[in-house]
Structure 1
Amino acid sequence: MKFFRILTPLLLAIVAVFCFAPAAWAFCGFYVAKADTKLYNKASQVVIARDGDRTVLTMANDFQGEVKDFAMVVPVPTVLQKEQVSVTEPKIIERLDAFSAPRLVEYFDPDPCAPVYPQKLSAAPAPAARMEAGNARDDASLGVTVEARFNVGEYDIVILSAKESGGLETWLQRSGYKIPRGAKQLLKPYIRSSMKFFVAKVNLNKFEKSGYQFLRPLQISYQSPKFMLPIRLGMINATTEQDLIVYILSPQGQAEITNYRTVKIPSDTNVPLFVKDEFGDFYKSMFQTAYTKENKKVGFLEYAWNMGSCDPCSAEPLTPDELKQAGVFWLDNNSPSDVPVSPRFRPPFPRSDVFISRLHVRYTRDKFPEDLIFQQTANSEFFQGRYVLQHPFQGELKCQAGREYKRSLPKRFEQEAQTLAKLTNWKIQDIRNKMKLSVGNLTYSWWENLFSWLGLY
């Protein structure tokens, strides 16, 4: 049995429940912190909603600088028309980020001397520039064809095809797109694959009239058997590692990367109490350690869950309207996701036909020479990056069970310290010192005994 606490920005309440389910079953705690994309200086975010051969791709813009300098070049498998391109609100991506972010949960040990009354609970399922292109003669001499040209929101869009990369690079630079020199080599594989190029630039007049402070995400829809995400062009002028968060929405189950390994982020571990105040630093260090251990050639699964529920919830599941804004096109009026679901209720079967997979890739040009290729699977196992704070009971312990509980704590605290050191590569001595300060006066004698046993006094 465990006690747990709910923390929200406006509410601090202590809720006591009995949790008899095994550790592999539904969680009985609630989050106290989350590791969202705000942890990273520069993290690109992409949402991919896919069913069959149809894809809706939403690209969040993390562009920093003057909007007049913005240019986006995205390889796409087919020529896009105006009705296949739209803009959406940044809030949708923020909602997906909050819902799927790795989380910290908090439990409180009960009084080991209190009587236990069995309570029957039903089992929960396993958690598993200018847009002037010049004249047609100049375009033809460069081997570039303008397949379509239109405006969507604050963006001017051109769809291009090209016969050779040097000509495409020259065309983009002549037309006022500020792309880095040296793009030729990275454009070449896409041209060999007969892919087209979705090119976007900000229409300054429309942007000023729109009243928006930031560029809105662009969303494109297309039909293609290719389930991939081009990332190589984003490496043109990158000097350091880049973080990419991909939210894949599917009517089936988990999505995974096929041309690189997909591994689960380390999860379901107890960490010392002081991590509550350092969760951002903890997660960044833990991710870097796991990334280095895997030789920097993997994609990490940080979250996999049916959108009809969450446990514990770091944010409410997206509503059907929000899911449609995120590109989910297979919902209809009779979708089970239209049925309200309490965030504390785990139905025995999924209530939504939208499954979200959150994949985190940290990439460089040398470690990720290929674009990401995905596949959908029927694996509906739930998974989340989840880290546990376990508070010791701090009342009087006069019974035999209480004395045994007290004797067990030093070993438990040391195990938490060792786990944290292994996950983060932090120095074990620093961790022990911080743990001693975090437990409070009521447990100081236990820590004094522990540190004496460890030879630290």
Structure 2
Amino acid sequence: MVFALLAVQLGSLVAPAYACGCGALVHDPASRLNVDRETSAVRWDGHREQIVMSLTVAGNAKQAAWIMPVPHRATVTLGDNALFDALDSVTAPVHRTRDHFWPHSDDWPFGSGSGNDGASAVPPRADAPAVGVVGRQRLGPFDVARLTATDPGALDSWLRQNGFRLPDGMTNDLKPYVDRKWEYVAVRLAPDHKGGTLAGILDPLKLTFASDRLVYPMRLSRRARNPQTLGLYVLAAHRMEPRSSIGGLPPDVTYAGKVPAGGALGHFADGERYLTALEQSFPVPSRIDGDHELRRAASDRPFQRVIYEEKLLTAGGIPVWLLTVGGVLVVFVVAALLLVSARRRRPVVPPPPVHAPPPLS
């Protein structure tokens, strides 16, 4: 019945939507807004989950709304920008020099000889109202509303009051959340200065909610019109991995290891945690068929990307391969000269004397 109400109220509405990894971003039909990248940090202790999300957007929209489904009632606060700087620093590739013996195409005598290019939900009461806004707050530039998931009309009403509409087709994507009595966090986004447009990296938001499994909502991203890229940092007791690729390319692990103490990252980790960094691309967002659920990996083996800077092996500034080849040639030349010299000094043995035949009788 709830889904039927959702379909009746929203099924005929058409408006642009540019989904982001863990929610949907909707805006004024007369404007445009693209999510270029989404980066999220997720911390899970087995009972509670925190998501800090940062969006990089571009376009000419003066305001937009971001909607995210959550399995239980969430608290919302502003995130710490320093967290992502710390994550970038910890997970950055290490640079190492790797010597090679034979010259490459950019080494002498084939190139210039530089040789330094790198590789490169709280269950509702029986007497609870069908539509309910359970909370509303102002966080910096954000107007945050927490809405019950039992009636999608609450979401529709909130969006209408702010000049937005849910896009056509999203009713099917919302149905699994409605069936499981999830709730929504709806955030109205606006530029910091009057008359401005949404562009660049938005301030991060942090959502905290109860969860007995590590889940990252992705289903609404199937409404995105452009390919999507997800950067996900997962902090848990062990190394984690997605159960499936949910319609995207296989996720790549870009870092795995223990979280260093102190700083913004140590504060967010709130104790000894294991950090797993994942990168995933969704070339065809319409193929996304569910939410990311992460599980413990087979081992806690650490991993870090390494960028090697190739360097020609030298000795005293001279390529070792040249010294080696030259040395071998010198040995051959010396051996040949010694052989010739020895042959010249060898005494000449005279031929045996020729005896005359005996006379005929």
8 A contact 1:146–1:161 mirrored in 2? yes
Q: What is the Cα deviation at residue 57 of structure 1?
A: 0.8
Alignment-derived partner of residue 48 in structure 2:
54
Counterpart Cα distance in 1 of 2:144 and 2:67:
10
From 390, 412, 416, the equivalent of 2:310 is: 390
Paired residue for 1:358?
277
Q: 8 Å contact 2:215–2:291 — kept in the other structure?
A: yes
Correspondent of 1:159 among 143, 146, 168: 146
Q: How far apart, CA to CA, are the structure 1 residues paired with 2:328 and 2:179?
A: 68
Q: How far 1:223 moved relative to its partner?
A: 1.7
- Relative distance call for 1:62 and 1:400 in structure 2 (3 A) is closer
CA distance in 1: counterparts of 2:295 and 2:40, whole angstroms: 16
- CA positional deviation for 1:302: 1.4
Cα offset for 1:77?
1.4
Aligned pairs for 1:285-300 (under 5 A) are: 296-300=248-252
The answer to whether the 8 Å contact 2:225/2:285 transfers is: no
CA distance in 1, matches of 2:156, 2:321: 81
Cα deviations across residues 327-356 of structure 1 (Å, max 9, x unaligned)? 32x33xxxxxxxxxxxxxxxxxxxxx2321
Q: Are positions 1:224 and 2:211 aligned together? A: yes
Counterpart Cα distance in 1 of 2:248 and 2:101: 42
The one of 267, 288, 298 aligned to 1:368: 288
Pick the aligned partner of 2:264 from 277, 302, 322. 322
Matched, 1:194 2:203: no
Which residue does the alignment assign to 2:25?
A: none
Residue in structure 1 matched with residue 91 of structure 2 by the alignment = 100
Bigger share in helix: 1
1:375 partner letter: R
- In structure 2, the CA distance between the partners of 1:159 and 1:95, relative to structure 1 (3 Å rule), is same
Superposition deviation, residue 68 in structure 1: 4.2
Q: What TM-score, normalized by structure 2, do the two folds share?
A: 0.62
Compare CA radii of gyration and give the structure with the larger one: 2
Deviation at 1:242, TM superposition (A): 0.5
| Deviations 1:181-208, CA, capped at 9 Å, x for gaps | 222222222111110001111477xx45
Asked whether the 8 Å contact 2:137–2:145 carries over to 1, the reply is yes
Go from structure 1 to structure 2 and tell me whether the alpha carbon gap of 1:406 and 1:391 turns closer, same or farther (over 3 Å shift).
farther
1:302 aligns with 2:254: yes
Aligned position for 1:63:
57
- Relative distance call for 1:102 and 1:162 in structure 2 (3 A) is same
Structure 2 counterpart of 1:361, one-letter code: Q
Counting aligned pairs with the same residue, the percent is 20
Distance in 2 (alpha carbons) for counterparts of 1:201 and 1:304: 35
Deviates more, 1:358-367 or 1:220-229: 358-367
How far residue 154 of structure 1 moved from its aligned partner, in angstroms, is: 2.6
Change (3 A) 1:220 1:390: same
Aligned counterpart, 1:243: 229
Partner of 1:257: 242
Q: TM-score, normalised by structure 1?
A: 0.50
Residue 105 of structure 1 deviates from its aligned partner by 3.5
2: CA distance between counterparts of 1:44 and 1:299?
Answer: 15
- Does the CA-based 8 Å contact 1:232-1:365 persist in structure 2? no
Please state how far the C-alpha of 1:45 moved relative to its aligned partner. 0.4
The answer on whether the counterparts of 1:164 and 1:188 sit within 8 Å (CA) in structure 2 is no
Code of the residue aligned with 2:234 in structure 1: it is I
SS of aligned partner of 1:323: helix
Is the contact made by 1:169 and 1:184 (CA closer than 8 Å) also made in structure 2? no
CA deviation after TM superposition for structure 1 residue 397, in Å:
5.8
Which of 78, 83, 91 is residue 87 of structure 1 equivalent to?
78
Asked if 2 retains the 8 angstrom alpha-carbon contact of 1:47 and 1:246, the reply is yes
Alignment gaps of 5+ in structure 1: 1-40, 112-139, 262-294, 309-318, 332-352, 408-457
Matches within 5 A, 1:88-237: 88-102=79-93, 105-108=96-99, 143-163=130-150, 165=152, 167=153, 170-176=156-162, 178-182=164-168, 183-202=170-189, 207-208=192-193, 215-236=202-223
The amino acid across from 1:257 in the alignment is P
**Cα distance in 2 for residues equivalent to 1:91 and 1:155:** 19
The alpha carbon displacement at 1:297 in A equals: 4.0
1:291-340 C-alpha deviation (Å, 9 max, x unpaired): xxxx95422111112233xxxxxxxxxx5131255x32x33xxxxxxxxx
Q: Provide the rounded CA distance (Å) in 2 between the counterparts of 1:223 and 1:354.
A: 18
Residues 168 and 299 of structure 1, relative CA distance in 2, 3 Å threshold: farther
1:148 Cα offset (Å): 1.8
Please tell me the root mean square deviation across aligned C-alpha atoms, in Å.
Answer: 3.5
| C-alpha spacing 1:51/1:42, structure 2 compared with 1 (3 Å) | same
Structure 1 residue 44, shift from structure 2 partner: 0.8
Code of the residue aligned with 2:56 in structure 1: it is D
What secondary structure does 1:240 align onto?
coil
Cα deviation code 1:228-283 (max 9, x no counterpart)? 111222332x2232100000112x3211001339xxxxxxxxxxxxxxxxxxxxxx
